[in-house]
Amino acid sequence: MSSTRPSAGIEAITVHVPEHYLTLDALAAEHGVDPAKFHSGLGCRSMAVPHPTQDTVTMAVAAVRDLIDRYNVDPEEIGLLICGTETGVDSSKPVSSYVHGLAGLGPQCRTFDIKHACYGATAGLMMACSWAHKGRKAIVVASDVSRYQPGSPGEPTQGAGAVAMLVSDRPQVLRIHDSFEAVHTLSVNDFWRPTYSPTAVVDGRYSVACYLSGLRSSWREMCEMTGRCRDDFAYMLYHLPFPRMSWKAHTAIAEVETGIDLASPSSDLEPEKLVYTQKVEPALWAAQEIGNIYTGSLWLGLAALLEGEPTSSAGKLVSLYSYGSGSCSELITGAIGDDPTAWHGRIGLGAALTTRTQIDHDLYLEFRKMELALKQNGSYARSEIPLEKRLPSHASTLYLGVKDHRRVYRPGADWQPGTDQPRVQIREDEPPEAWCDMWMLGQEPPWKVQ
Ligand code: HMG
């Protein structure tokens, strides 16, 4: 399908992954579950666990700062900053405002959050593409911490992380075909988080059915509007609430296109497994180690594909399915850039995963407890966990708690002043390692909010 519109899409992409993780073997042992259920049934190996000094804001800031630094972006050129998130930190002030200040963007910049469960960042990206057609640059950042009740079926699918994307009319990473819209919306209660609850409420199997129903509809729409079918795509990427969901999605599309019922015992699945290995699996490895990062999940898959197969993916056509509970589905197609040097070595995904620290189940629960205490009353939580296990070692921006009803962040070393967010004055007689220690022991913190 030809279009006279100028091209737009992703010029640059980075991923931020929390420093700590819990293996699903440890979770399975704790709950007396066969680990094969998590490994094969859900396709997950470990989950990213944010330190209590990390939240949706700090992860988004880290991803945006990396985007600016690794791709030499001029912060003053960014006229639009959209944050896709469903785990915001305030009912009024958007995450994007914090990110704007802490990442040092210029004042002539529209900022806002978009919330629609896991679909928010995709909505932001499509909006940013329209903006980019006029020759302007935008940043879309997806950042979330996924949380379910301990012991619930959703717990092994948890994750956390952020993906930042520079959107422009120089789409060296992914040129998005945005001249058509294959969207499907249906108001359902498959997954939601009531305002009184820190964790999501899920009708798990129904949510899987809703995801697949949205996929079938938006896939059919895309085919009708573009004349393309799955043979046209070298890679097929999906929102990944858990990696094995992509197999369900893959067979659903195969059924739509071939009319064959693959659930029937007489069906031969081998040909489909081969197609799956080639077109779907290359985008799964990061989600297997990180878990569901909600708004960033689909884009984490793109980052994994680009980093894992930089040369063979170059110039290829991809389909990308975004699903947000509630629900909205969108099927996007696009072309990966021809030159892998545009992104190779700059995404940061593999490097972040190899430097992570494994934690045990007790520390995971302790992190959750401290995170909740800070969320509920802003207090400086006490902890019995030894100091060396509690400190984040390489996070640049830290969330320190709430003081005078204001969230307090210790900006990274590269923070540019110029916003009216609380200024944190650090006492010079305390080394940085002591800040969190004093905070967690409930002592007077070594900073002052001005
Ligand atoms: P569950 O209770 O683990 O389900 O919940 P299950 O008992 O059916 O087991 C899962 C799979 O493991 C099954 O495979 C079992 O056969 C298999 P399947 O039939 O599905 O192919 N299994 C085993 N395999 C190997 N060895 C074993 C073994 N035992 C069982 N020993 C569920 C699964 C996904 C419902 C749960 O994890 C959940 O509630 N997750 C959260 C919701 C979710 O992820 N929904 C997905 C679609 S909605 C969505 O994507 C939106 C979302 O991202 C939020 C947003 O939009 O913001 C979630």
Which DSSP string corresponds to 316-384? -EEEEEEEETTTEEEEEEEEE-S-GGGTTTTS-HHHHHHT-EE--HHHHHHHHHHHHHHHHH-------
Distance 122 CA to ligand 1 centre (A): 23
Distance 251 CA to ligand 1 centre (A): 16
**Which pLDDT belongs to residue 448?**
43
Which residue, judged by its Cα, is nearest atom 17 of ligand 1? 41
CB atoms within 10 A of CB 395: 22
Distance 53 CA to ligand 1 centre (A): 30
Distance 198 CA to ligand 1 centre (A): 21
**Which pLDDT belongs to residue 395?**
54
**Which pLDDT belongs to residue 412?**
60
Handedness of CA 41, 324, 17, 195 (dihedral sign): negative
Domain boundaries, the chain: 8-354
Query: Do residues 361 and 373 touch, judged by C-beta distance below 8 A?
Result: no
Question: Which atom of ligand 1 sits closest to the CA of residue 247?
Answer: 21
Query: Do residues 13 and 172 touch, judged by C-beta distance below 8 A?
Result: no
CB atoms within 10 A of CB 103: 29
DSSP assignment, residue 156? G
DSSP assignment, residue 265? T
Q: What tokens does 62 get?
A: 């880290």
Which residue, judged by its Cα, is nearest atom 13 of ligand 1? 41
Which residue, judged by its Cα, is nearest atom 11 of ligand 1? 41
Which listed residue (100, 116, 239, 250) is catalytic?
A: 239
CATH topology of domain 8-354: Peroxisomal Thiolase; Chain A, domain 1 (3.40.47)
CA distances from 121 to 98, 99, 156, 323, 332 (A): 17, 15, 23, 11, 13
Distance 42 CA to ligand 1 centre (A): 6
Task: Please indicate whether residue 100 is annotated as part of the active site.
Answer: no
Question: Which atom of ligand 1 sits closest to the CA of residue 191?
Answer: 54
Distance 41 CA to ligand 1 centre (A): 7
Handedness of CA 412, 404, 19, 357 (dihedral sign): positive
**Which pLDDT belongs to residue 367?**
86
Query: Do residues 19 and 51 touch, judged by C-beta distance below 8 A?
Result: yes
DSSP assignment, residue 136? -
Task: Please indicate whether residue 86 is annotated as part of the active site.
Answer: yes
Question: Which atom of ligand 1 sits closest to the CA of residue 245?
Answer: 46
State how far the Cα of 197 lies from the Cα of 367, in Å rounded to an integer. Answer: 18
Which residue, judged by its Cα, is nearest atom 35 of ligand 1? 204
**Which pLDDT belongs to residue 410?**
73
Query: Do residues 138 and 132 touch, judged by C-beta distance below 8 A?
Result: yes
State how far the Cα of 289 lies from the Cα of 262, in Å rounded to an integer. Answer: 29
Q: What tokens does 322 get?
A: 């975004």
The candidate with the shortest Cα–Cα distance to 352, out of 19, 127, 40, 61, is: 19
Which residue, judged by its Cα, is nearest atom 28 of ligand 1? 37
For every one of its 450 residues, what pLDDT tens digit does the chain have, with 9 covering 90 and above?
444 566 999 999 999 999 999 999 999 999 999 999 999 999 999 999 998 888 999 999 999 999 999 999 999 999 999 999 999 999 999 999 999 988 989 999 999 999 999 999 999 999 999 999 989 999 999 999 999 999 999 999 999 999 999 999 999 999 999 889 999 999 999 999 999 998 999 999 999 999 999 999 999 999 999 999 999 999 999 999 999 999 999 999 999 998 888 888 888 899 999 999 999 999 999 999 999 999 999 999 999 999 999 999 999 999 999 999 999 999 999 999 999 999 999 999 999 999 999 999 998 998 898 788 777 655 544 455 554 455 555 557 878 777 667 787 876 654 444 444 434 444 455 444 444 444 444 444 444 433
Question: Which atom of ligand 1 sits closest to the CA of residue 297?
Answer: 53
Distance 168 CA to ligand 1 centre (A): 37
Which listed residue (16, 19, 83, 86) is catalytic?
A: 86
The candidate with the shortest Cα–Cα distance to 191, out of 236, 237, 144, 247, is: 144
**Which pLDDT belongs to residue 366?**
85
Alpha helix (H) ranges present in 71-138? 95-102, 120-132
Residues with CB under 6 A from ligand 1: 34, 36-37, 40-42, 86, 117-118, 153-154, 157, 190-191, 202, 204-205, 207-208, 211, 239, 241-242, 245, 292, 294, 323-325
Classify 77 as helix, strand or coil.
helix
